[in-house]
Amino acid sequence: MFPKWFDEWNRKNPTDIEGPAILVGAAGGAVVVAAAIVAIGNPWATETQQTGPRGIGMGVVEFKSAAPDPTIALYTTAAPVVPQGGEERAGDVHEFAGPLADLTVENYDRVVGQLRTWTGIPDLLEQDNYQTQVAWRMIEMTQNLNENWDGHVNVSGEAGVNCYTCHRGQPVPSDIWFRIDPMLESVAGWSANQNFATMMTVSTSLPHDALQKFLVDGETIKVHDLEPRVKNLPGDPMIQQAERTYSLMNNFANSMGVNCTFCHNTRAFYDVAEVTPQWATATLGIQMVLELNNDYMLPLTPLFPPERLGPKHADAPKIACATCHKGYQKPLDGENMIADWPELASSEPPTYN
């Protein structure tokens, strides 16, 4: 019944059979488990989404968060009040109505009340202070996002954005950033703006000026020269730009809880013909953030008090992917943020259903 080697061993060691018995049992159990996996499928198989032609292994892991974003449960909304005609105009009643001046008084009060909840600023739009001025511009920015960046904010179904997308009930959104380079100005040599533990690089040894270079200055994202035998030495711009690219990609990955294969075919990172559909969404998002930082955030610098400006360059707070995504692939799991808010969906007069 037992293997020959087991009978021989048992004759020589008649009082200790547990070891071989356990070994035989474990081997038999492994065979049973392997047979079950072959028969019914691997219950721990990673779910993937095919992103290329069949048979070439182009797939991206379907990233699923371990837990839903806890701020989703805190989101509140209010249905619009459909005008019947003849209602008072908000601009005729409220002195500081700004871009909401043409709303009816009922809808103005509804929008402002929700803005105060979303941002945690109880007196928002009550007086002509810097928060009021900033809020007006942020309303225009939100309208621009929903109106002109549909290819990014609505890429996987109508979602859009409103103030809660970034603020999540706080006066200052989390995951904003300020320019911090260079970290050391008095040290001889060239630091390559790296080897400092900063939030910009998620504490990696990578350049901490990547967000400034790519999401404000608009420099081209690139890794290496496609020509062979190009002489590049440490300190050359191309190597520095490659390191900045790694820094930016690391920031992207942590902002959305994904990895490189979410956007790229790792066999050919630089070949745009072999990337995933998400690459186009991300590329559009980069252009969108560039516009938001340069057209909306930086011009607000004179309005912010010193305590709201950056610690090194006194610059305005700026936006990156994490400002909306907060570590999730879809902000707020793709919740429709403009269904009840036609006033924020477009710069045109709102259409009420």
**Euclidean distance between CA atoms 344 and 41, whole angstroms:** 48
- DSSP tag of 125: T
Q: What is the three-class DSSP state of 61?
A: strand
Closest CA to 342 of 165, 160, 168: 160
- Express as a percent the part of the chain with pLDDT over 90: 53
Name the one residue in this structure whose structure tokens are 């028969």: 39
Distance CA 138, CA 53 (A): 43
Q: What is the pLDDT of residues 46-88, one digit of tens each?
A: 677 676 667 766 666 666 666 788 999 999 999 999 999 889 9
Instruction: Report which secondary-structure segment, H or E, holds 116.
Output: helix 105-119
Q: Can you read off the two tokens belonging to residue 90?
A: 């908000």
Amino acid at 177: W
Q: Which two tokens stand for residue 211?
A: 């967000």
Q: For residue 162, which of 188, 189, 132, 141 has the smallest C-alpha distance?
A: 141
- Chain segment 91-125, per-residue pLDDT in tens: 999 888 889 999 999 999 999 999 999 999 998 88
Q: 75-174+336-353 and 177-325: same fold?
A: yes
**Residues 136-159, mean pLDDT to the nearest whole number:** 94
The CATH architecture to which 177-325 belongs is: Orthogonal Bundle (1.10)
CB within 8 Å of 121: residues ≥ 6 apart: 115, 131, 135, 171
Q: Where are the domains of the chain?
A: 75-174+336-353, 177-325
Tokens, residue 288: 């969108």
With CA atoms as reference, report the closest residue to 205 among 192, 194, 191, 193: 194
Q: How confident is the model at residue 302 (pLDDT cuts 50, 70, 90)?
A: very high
Do residues 194 and 205 make contact, with C-beta atoms less than 8 angstroms apart? yes
Distance (Å, rounded) from C-alpha 268 to C-alpha 272? 9
Per-residue model confidence (pLDDT) at position 189: 60
Q: What is the pLDDT of residues 321-351, one digit of tens each?
A: 999 999 998 999 999 999 999 999 999 999 9
| Structure confidence by residue, pLDDT tens digits, 202-242 | 788 888 899 999 999 999 888 777 777 777 666 666 777 88
Whether residue 44 is predicted with pLDDT greater than 60 in this model: the reply is: no
Q: What are the structure tokens assigned to 27, written together?
A: 């081997």
For 18, phi then psi, to 5°, come to: -65, -45
Cα(first)–Cα(last) distance of the chain, in Å?
80
Query: Residue 318 phi/psi, 5° resolution?
Result: -125, 165
SS3 12: helix
Distance, CA of 310 to CA of 317 (rounded, Å): 7
CATH of 75-174+336-353, one of 1.10.468.10, 2.70.210.12, 3.90.1150.10, 1.20.1270.30: 1.10.468.10
294 within 8 A of 144, measured Cβ to Cβ: no
Which pLDDT belongs to residue 262? 85
Contact 6, 20 (CB under 8 A): yes
Q: What is the pTM of this model?
A: 0.81
Q: What is the DSSP letter of 89?
A: B
Cβ contact 282:324 at 8 Å: no
